[in-house]
Structure 1
Amino acid sequence: MHRLPKFHSFVALFLLCWLVQEPILHAQDSLKNLPEYSLPLTSEKLVIAHCMTNIISFKGHPLEDSGNSRYYAPTGNISAPLGGLTQVKVMVDSMMSSRSLDEAVEFEMRAAIRSGIDGFQFYYILGAKDWDNIIKAYFRVAEQQKLKFKFTFCISHPNGKTEDLKIEEYAARMNGILDEVGRDNKHWLRTPDGRLVIYQWDGEGLADIPADRNGLPVPYYIARAYQRLADKTHERFACIFTINKEITNRDLNDFLDYFPATWIWTLPYNDKNYVGERISQICSTRKRTFTASVFNDFYTSKLLKKGTWDMYHQVSDAVQAGIGQVERKYITTGLSYNFRKLLEFGIAKNAAIINVITWNDYPEGHHLAPEINHNEGFSILLNYYKSKWKNEPSPYADRDVAIAFFKKYKHDVVPAPFNIPVKAFQKEVIPAVWEDSIELVTLLRAPADINVNGSKKHAAAGLSISKFPMKTGVVSVNVTRNNQRTVKFVTPEGITAFPYRSDRITYTFSSEFERFYKDLYPGFTPSFSTEYNTRKQ
């Protein structure tokens, strides 16, 4: 007779626990497929570049060793045993080394705007509080100089510590910036409904992933961590998660359950199975924003421990390790091919944002900022394609333009004596042999004859791509129409059959060189690469 009341008590207790737990379980999935994930990220098409916040030169703040011009020459500096540590030479480094921070960021923005860039997403890591002053300077100068430019954070590999500690540090620093420059500052990159657009680069590490996930996917916990960070910064976020490797449809859909947009890092273009095609299609089906990405090159100046991504941050450490213990990383990009095709893909998908990888990561060699190897060639292409993307007139419609792209030596030539191994770290989707030529990209008002080193071809009006054999020495370019020369230039740099060091960075030069750099910034004079234009072949 006593069992029935006990049974009723048990049922009542069970129902009470179920009623209490049901909203808790529901709350755990309250971040899934929110309506705001389908809202637009921008009200206009924008080119946003990944900016390495700390890779900037100003008084008292030199460029890091792997981008420092003092280690470019093969002799006369402590990196001589390596044939020179860096293989990039930043044009502005010598001028800005004695200038103020505000002058330095002004130059960066003016150069970026001339290259077709509308804003920066700042590489933002833990433990670098002094970088916040650089970001504040960008806001301050953009306001003072009335520069139309956007900014936001890119939360990057937040590893170590607990989720709570990481969120605490990020929130304190981000609040400091937001409060000082103003949350309503027009330079913030915000969605039309007011959310702060936040990029991630390998940003999953912000979250603690429990061993027992209670049936929920990993992206839920990542999204929850970013929601906590948003709450701590008194903001609403629109997070763009990064794809840095092949991703399955299932994993992609799991991320799209909890994030409104994605961007792809340095995955090169392949016309047969480019990963972006599948990702963009799924994003379209899920009503999420696919943002297009483009990178022009990938060849690291930074020296890495063999078989790793562990970088020798100090030139002295790299020299001590010696050539036998170091290597550089590389992706074959086919001269201008990868850059052009990724831009064409973004245009075909009518992407809301095109991400440039990167503005100033000189050590990884995918920079667009002024440097004596890349020069202005990729920037001209970006400006041209941007006009197509936005249905605007080409900025080069009134003249003929020619851009030469080449490597300093063929891919199978062995440098001597400084043969530092160059290791491809992704599967080859662009054949290395494609880079064993001189590529001339022309933007012509009308069809014309082109001549490269005495070899002649005919080029169509508009954008045209022509290949010519590699020939040692400098590259001579002429464009003629009706027996009238419209373009003539000779590249300062040459091609060699006997490179003294490994160097796979892409070299570009164009008929626009003087026009592009003219009046860019008071006191600025462009410099040149001339390693192989006078060396004995």
Structure 2
Amino acid sequence: MMKLCLTFLFCLLINCGLLFGQGSLKNLPEYSLPLTNKKLVIAHCMTNIIRFKGHPFEDSCNPDYYSPKGNVSAPLGGLTQVKVMADSLMANASLDEAVEFEMRAAIRSGIDGFQFYYTLGSPDWDKIILAYFRVAEKQHINFKFTFCISHPGGSTESLKIEQFAKRINYILKVTGKDNPHWLRTPDGRLVIYLWDGEPLADIPADKKGLPDQFYIARAYKRLAEAVNERFACIFTINKEISKTELNHFLDYFPAAWMWTLPYDNKNYTGQMVAAECKRRQRNFTASVFNDFYTSKLLKKGTWDMYHRVEDAVKAGIGKVERKYITTGLSYNFRKLLEFGIQQDASLINVITWNDYPEGHHLAPEINHNEGFSILLNYYKSIWKGQSSPYAGRDVAIVFFKKYSRQLQPFPFNIPVVPFQKETLPIASEEAIEVVTLLGSPASLRVNGNIKSVKQGLSVLKFPMKAGSVNVSIVRNNKTTIEFTTPEGITTKPYRADRITYSFSSEFENFYKNLYPGFKPGYSIEYNPQFKKL
């Protein structure tokens, strides 16, 4: 009898402890406090995807494998379909020089800080993060940093917290907790992003009637305590989510951010998320991504990536695929920015700064160039109530795919597979799209076709035509802009390639004086006769 009573008392104490724990984590007043005291654009940064001496890019974005011939990836028609502009410049650079370039280029693109992709089993990345702090302080670069704790699988909660805490404590010790480059809330909490961060927690089989989110929040509270900090964790939404599940998160977290869920005016998940955040007095942070087409070669039907070029070549075209999302050229990027502005979001999250393998990068690269960065700078000025950085001059940006999706590439036709519900029609990408920013109405000529354009931002589409794209703006019989894209459109694609190409009238201005010794590169895959003017 005594044994039964003790067992009952023990179980009662456990349940009371859980209920007390829930009460100490659920709907805390701090969850309704602001994340920032000013609006910021924070980009997801792939910590290790950076070029410096002795540290090449990973295979799936290594420019050595861009060419369809003359390298080990030739049997695939070239493993990578992105070519990072800074690769050759940084090949003999120090780590400090490399991170300085990344920050200065990011600022040029309208970015105010990085959230670093942060995983278990990657302690070498910490020296890269420390270099960012060191150089930002030394060079007086106004830039913010924080961690994005990502898919912490394997092991137990306590061991994972121990591993993370050891590394984070060291970084905090070296940089200083009061370092102004940390991204903190006005009340002093360290803003922490999660990307698939739920696996940090051990979820018991018997959850005592509590949702998973309680155990997840408890795990991050334990991590915060292990580094003697208070966290403001921004959980990620990387799928369609129900209102019930969302509210379980909002019970225990102060903010949400969304990953690569494309904009759909009728069924955009962000509309429900933003509405619930507003109702619950939580922070809705807007997310934007410009493209999604992987240079990664994956095992068919999976996200299992061939990390080494030799393994991808060995597998062969018949056993690999690439993944994509239809983004409608610039449509998805513009609409996500417009939605964030409409919601008066406290943060705009850019997906991503430098994830070249997934093709949603803003960093200087010869296909994306500066087109999306110009749009980010323009919309950022509206969001912050400031004058446009392009006021007083005309700007035109071209977006297109290198070939119509109706064509079959030959001989390297690697399958390109959509991995999410298609929210935009394929036809949205079957055109040349031109976005203009004009001080007053004018005429736009594209490959001989002329359309009237209004003042401000306009988006016009023109038929796809083989060859490079010629653009000019004419007002009162005077040409204010005239340029030809270095890259062209082809009717004979030799390999599958769905990355979005952009180029603008700002190309030379945008990259001018970006960094000592930097010279922008050009994509001329289907326009080999291009000569720089």
Q: Above 0.5 in TM-score?
A: yes
Residue correspondences, number: 529
Q: CA deviation at 1:97?
A: 1.1
CA offset digits 1:217-266 (Å, max 9, x no partner): 00000000000000001100000000000000100000100000000000
Is 1:94 matched up with 2:88?
Answer: yes
Which of residues 4, 17, 27 is equivalent to 2:20?
A: 27
Partners of 1:418 and 1:52 in 2: how far apart?
A: 29
- Indicate the residue corresponding to 1:506 in structure 2: 500
Q: Which amino acid aligns with 1:54?
A: N
Partner secondary structure for residue 249 of structure 2: helix
Find the residue that maps to 1:170 and give its secondary structure: helix
- Asked if residue 309 in structure 1 is aligned to residue 311 in structure 2, the reply is no
Q: Which runs of 5+ in 1 are unaligned?
A: 1-5
Structure 1 residues 36-80: Cα deviation after superposition (integer angstroms, max 9, x where no partner): 000000000000000000000000000000000000000100000
Gaps of 5+ in 2: none
Alpha carbons of 1:325 and 1:13: their partners in 2 closer, same or farther (altered >3 Å)?
closer
State the distance in 2 between where 1:429 and 1:504 align: 17
What is the deviation of 1:422? 0.1
Letter of the 2:469 partner, please give it: V
Alignment root-mean-square deviation, CA: 1.8
Helix, strand or coil at the partner of 2:25: coil
Counterpart for residue 225 of structure 1: 219
Q: Which residue of 1 aligns with 2:113?
A: 119
Kindly provide the amino acid, as one letter, of the partner of residue 235 in structure 1: E
Structure 1 residue 17, shift from structure 2 partner: 7.4
Match of 1:449 among 440, 443, 456: 443
Q: Distance in 2 between matches of 1:240 and 1:120?
A: 14
2:417 is equivalent to residue 409 of structure 1: no
Map of 1:294 onto structure 2: 288
The change in CA–CA distance for 1:20 and 1:80 in structure 2 (over 3 A counts) is: closer
Q: Deviations over 1:481-535 (max 9, x none)?
A: 0000000000000000110000000000000000000000000000000010148
User: Do the aligned partners of residues 19 and 417 (structure 1) sit closer, same or farther apart at CA in structure 2, a change above 3 Å counting?
Assistant: closer
Partner of 2:43: 49
Q: Where does residue 438 of structure 1 map in the other structure? A: 432
Q: CA deviation at 1:433?
A: 1.1
CA deviations on 1:64-116 (whole Å, 9 max, x unpaired) are 00000000000100000000000000000111011000000000000000000
Distance, in Å, in 2 between the alignment partners of 1:302 and 1:167 is 30
Between the aligned partners of 1:303 and 1:22, the Cα distance in structure 2 is: 48
Q: Does 1:265 align with 2:235?
A: no
Question: Residue 344 of structure 2 corresponds to which residue in structure 1?
Answer: 350
SS in 2 for 1:372: coil
Alignment of 1:341-490 (within 5 A): 341-490=335-484
Q: 1:257 aligns to what SS in structure 2? A: helix
- The amino acid that maps onto 1:173 is R
Which amino acid counterpart does residue 225 of structure 1 have in structure 2? A
Post-superposition offset of 1:20: 5.2
Describe the shift of the 1:62–1:19 C-alpha distance in structure 2 as closer, same or farther (beyond 3 A).
closer
Mapped to 2, the partners of 1:413 and 1:347 lie a distance apart of 38
Q: Distance in 2 between matches of 1:175 and 1:448?
A: 57
1:211 aligns with 2:205: yes
Listed one character per residue, the Cα deviations across residues 132-189 of structure 1 (whole Å, up to 9, x for unaligned) are: 0000000000001101100000000000111111100000000010000110000000
Residue type at the aligned position of 2:20: A
Q: Is residue 487 of structure 2 the alignment partner of residue 519 of structure 1?
A: no
2:70 is the counterpart of 1:76: yes
Cα distance change, pair 21–437 in 1 and its aligned pair in 2 (3 A): closer
- The equivalent of 2:272 in structure 1 is 278
Give the conservation status (yes or no) of the 8 Å contact 2:15–2:208. Answer: no
Q: Residue 520 of structure 2 aligns to which amino acid in structure 1? A: P
Q: CA shift at 1:21, angstroms?
A: 6.1
1:249 maps to 243
Partner of 1:158: 152
Residue pair 2:234, 2:253 contacting (<8 A) in 1 also: yes
8 Å Cα contact 2:44-2:114 kept in structure 1: yes
1:198-233 superposed Cα distances (whole Å, 9 cap, x missing partner): 000000010010000011000000000000000001
Deviations along 1:283-303, whole A, 9 cap, x unmatched?
100000010000000000010
Q: Distance in 2 between matches of 1:20 and 1:370?
A: 58
Q: What is the deviation of 1:26?
A: 3.3
**Cα distance in structure 2, aligned partners of 1:412 and 1:220:** 49
Counterpart-to-counterpart distance in 2, 1:166 and 1:435? 44
| Partner AA of 2:453 in structure 1 | A
Give 4+ residue runs of structure 1 displaced > 4 Å after superposition: 12-23
Q: Flag the 1:75–1:32 CA change in 2: closer, same or farther, 3 A.
A: same
From 483, 489, 494, the equivalent of 2:488 is 494
Partner SS, residue 285 of structure 2: strand
1:3 maps to none
Deviations 1:381-416 (A, max 9, x none): 000000000000000001000000000001111000
Inter-CA distance 183–165: structure 2 relative to 1 (3 Å threshold): same
> 133, 137, 142: which one pairs with 2:136?
142
Equivalent residue for 1:338? 332
Question: Structure 2 CA distance, aligned partners of 1:21 and 1:80?
Answer: 62
Aligned residue type for 1:253: N
Cα pair distance change 1:531/1:220, threshold 3 Å = same
What is the distance in 2 between the residues matched to 1:17 and 1:438? Answer: 70
Where does residue 171 of structure 1 map in the other structure? 165
Q: TM-score, normalised by structure 2?
A: 0.97
Distance 1:408 1:535 in 2: 16
Counting aligned pairs with the same residue, the percent is 71
Q: How much does 1:27 deviate?
A: 1.9
Amino acid at match of 1:128: S
